[in-house]
A and B are shown apart, each in its own frame.
Chain A
Amino acid sequence: MQYFDIINLAYKTVISHKLRSILTALGMVIGIASVIVLTSIGRGVHAFVLTEFTQFGTNLIAVFPGKTTTLGLSGATISTVRPLSIADAISLGELENIIAALPLVQGNARIETGKKQRRTTVLGVGAAVPEIWKIKVARGRFLPKNEQANPRAFAVLGDKLAAQLFAKTSPLGQRIRIGNDRYRVLGVMEKKGQMMGFDMDDTVYIPTAKALEMFNRESVMEIDLLYNKNTQVKAIEKQISNLLQRRHGREDFSIITQDQMLKSMDSILNILTLAVAALGGISLLVGSVGILTIMTVAVSERISEIGLLRAVGAEKAMIFKLFLSEALVLSVIGGVIGIFLGIFIVQSIKFMVPGLPVQLAWGYICTAFIISLLIGVIAGVIPAIKAARLRPLEALRSE
């Protein structure tokens, strides 16, 4: 018999038991489809989080006060005896290959205009915000350069804050009161939306020195540095570390590069996707037990057929191949339909819930298909061996 004949025969047997085959394949379909849907969601979340992180660009380094800062917060961010100052930021900005430096203080205060007021986030920053954080100015301009040490009282509003305080009138050039000081509005930022649970639009940007004064602090909370893309992170890190050690006399700061953050993020998210895939894989496992069961049933039902085939000259290997390909046909049909169903569901999710990030994970889809093939082989092998081992005479007599 040719391979074509074997597959043809297997296909016909599968078709002849319609209901049984449909149900068996259905198990596989559900398994494969759930793996595909779940990994697509995992991959979507992965991509979403990474873009959230990389929207600032990848050539960023953050310097924090205090030595023990991990990804969380250390006490040093709140207050420290060894402050990180604006002067530190300025001299870091003059380093070779550092494009811009941004000393950052974050706080909370009341913003007032003539009649309206709103309590919200105040960011003490430098002129480099549009460049480092990749936010554009919608109207007016951002804080002026070269006056970090002794700045004038200018403020730039986030999109939502501007809308809340000024409604339809133009805020440019207007006076506002932040805390107890008066500022002049210089510009309005474009809409940026939520970022890591932090509403970038409901903020006001003022010069760092002004913010330190208002909050009565010595130390900035963080210095963000943008470096030249074409240089080595390690070298830059070393440069920064050397400079600050010279200025402070000891290593009382921590440096976190965007690279490190991205790498740890990436590995966490990959594990997450894998875990979700495994969750869906449970169904696949159950589905494969289903194929195994049905093939066992099929062999015991068709003993006389096997006897006949052997009697007319089919060899053991032939019977083995016949049953194996039957299992394969079942699993491949199930696999292919499952893949289509999965992709269909993913596309409908994309269409119906646009907020949920989904992305087809082709790597996992291919793996799922290969696994469905493997399942066919593994689930088919034991019953096929059993069928091949039957002795023709007894098999024929069994009915």
Chain B
Amino acid sequence: MMVRDTLSFSWTAIKTQPLRVILIVLAMSIGITSVTILTALGESARLYIVNEFQALGTNLIIVLPGRTETTGGQPPLFGATPRDLTLADANALYRSHHIAAIAPISVGAAPVSIRGLEREVTILGSTSALRRVRHLSLSKGHFLPEMDIDRTLSICVIGQTIKDELFARQQAVGQWLRINDRRFRVIGVLASEGQSIGVDFDDMVIVPVASAQALFNTQSLFRILVETKSKEGMYKAVDDIRELIKLRHEGEDDVTLITQDSVVNTFDEILVALTLTVASIASISLAVAGILVMNVMWVSVTQRTAEIGLLKALGATQRQILWLFLTEAAMVSIAGALSGLLLGKVILLILQVSYPEFPLYLPMWAVFSALAVALLTALIFGVLPARQAAKMNAVTALNKR
């Protein structure tokens, strides 16, 4: 028998039992649909978060004051330390050849007011380098100018939310506002960024770092953001920073360095694991669908005993009979997989329309693996009934009728 004959034979067999086949296709497609949707959701979440982290900057190293030796614990993200990271420390980092830009950061909260309107706002002290390091864009005016790191200047850049709340429908640039008891002139308004991993630049006022330190009466920096010249230079820069700080801190290694790479990788790994777990839980349903395929194939083998006997009498080999039934199972499963993929795609489209801000993406490998898994399921679960059919004795089979 030729391949074409096998296909057309199976097709005829399928056509005679439309309801049964539709039900198997349905079962298969429920499984495939759920696997595709869940994989797409997981994969999109992964891409979303990885993108968010990459948008933080390029070749970024974050320097935190303090270091714990607790194994497996989290880095000291917000604790205080007896020896601060200072502006002089930040300045000293420029001695490394691998570093392109340094943005010291000092953070605090203070009331911002203008003409009786008051709002408690996060104040971020930094330098002109922050714009480059964090890829910030402005909607109006200028960012902080280049100047000496330790100079205080009464100027500020405000986020979009602050502009809307305090300067509704008026020009903000050039106006004065009051942060606690000091006056600052607005020189720029940030373009709306939206939330990016917990940091809301829209609801923030950026001032020169020395001014922020004066405002909060502190010497210490919250973090230092460092951009390296190249990706390769990143690890050399890490060593340099450690050396430089150690030199300045009387030989004590008391800072924690976090590279952007390691953060992205950690999240990447977690989310891949999560996606795989969820997808494999959903694929239990594919196993259930496979059992159904097996069951129905078994029924159809018993029902078509006489037919098998006839085929055998006409000289069909065991291998041909086996393939006949396997092809039938495979055709049904692939039909299930395709309709499942289609349904999944439709549901994803609907989700995408309802949540446009979260980009959904169905990876190609998920499509192919769905098809492959469906085919594999059919072959694995179809092989037992098909072998039973193939092994039948021609005479007894014919006798059945």
Interface residues of A (CB under 8 A from B): 19-20, 23-24, 26-27, 30-31, 34, 38, 65-68, 72-82, 105-110, 118-122, 178-180, 197-199, 202, 211, 214-218, 252, 276, 279-280, 282-283, 285-287, 289-290, 292-294, 296-297, 301
Contacts and interface: CB of A to CB of B under 8 A. Distances in A.
Contacts of A80: 108-110, 216
Contacts of A289: 23, 26-27, 30, 289, 292
Interface of B: 19-20, 23-24, 26-27, 30-31, 34, 38, 65-70, 72-74, 76, 78-84, 106-111, 120-124, 180, 198, 215-220, 222, 252, 254, 278, 281-282, 284-285, 287-289, 291-292, 294-296, 298-299, 303
- The CB with the most chain A CB atoms within 10 A, among B20, B216, B254, is that of B216
Nearest to A276: B281
A109 B106 contact: no
A74 B111 CA distance: 13
A155 B390 CA distance: 82
B13 to A, nearest CB: 14
Contact of A20 (B110, B220, B295): B295
Binding site secondary structure of chain B: mixed
A192 to B, nearest CB: 13
Contact of B303 (A23, A285, A301): A301
- The CB with the most chain A CB atoms within 10 A, among B121, B287, B291, is that of B291
A75 B79 contact: no
A75 B20 contact: no
A121 B298 contact: no
A31 B219 CA distance: 61
Contacts of B222: 78-79
A106 B74 CA distance: 14
A120 B73 CA distance: 10
B34 A67 contact: no
A23 B20 contact: no
B299 to A, nearest CB: 5
A199 B107 CA distance: 26
Contact of A30 (B72, B215, B284): B284
Nearest 8 A-B pairs (CB), nearest first?
A: A108-B66, A179-B82, A76-B109, A215-B80, A79-B108, A107-B80, A75-B122, A79-B216
Nearest to B294: A23
Contacts of B24: 293
A314 to B, nearest CB: 24
B31 A282 contact: yes
A235 to B, nearest CB: 26
A282 B80 contact: no
Contacts of A30: 284, 287-288, 291
Given A30-B291, A122-B79, A285-B30, 10 more contacts: A31-B285, A73-B78, A74-B122, A81-B110, A179-B82, A198-B73, A199-B72, A286-B27, A290-B291, A297-B296
A108 B298 contact: no
A106 B68 contact: no
A293 B106 CA distance: 67
Contacts of B288: 27, 30-31, 283, 286-287, 290
Contacts of B26: 289
A296 to B, nearest CB: 6
Given A26-B291, A30-B287, A106 B108 contact: no
Contacts of B219: 216
A216 B216 contact: no
Given A75-B107, A180-B82, A216 B30 contact: no
B129 to A, nearest CB: 20
Given A27-B288, A120-B69, A293-B292, A68 B122 contact: yes
14 contacts: A23-B291, A34-B284, A66-B120, A73-B78, A74-B122, A75-B123, A81-B180, A108-B76, A110-B252, A118-B69, A119-B67, A178-B82, A198-B73, A279-B278
B70 A121 contact: yes
B281 A280 contact: yes
Contacts of B252: 110
Contact of A286 (B73, B285, B296): B285
Contact of A81 (B38, B70, B215): B215
A67 B72 CA distance: 33
A287 B288 CA distance: 6
Nearest to B73: A199
Nearest to B124: A75
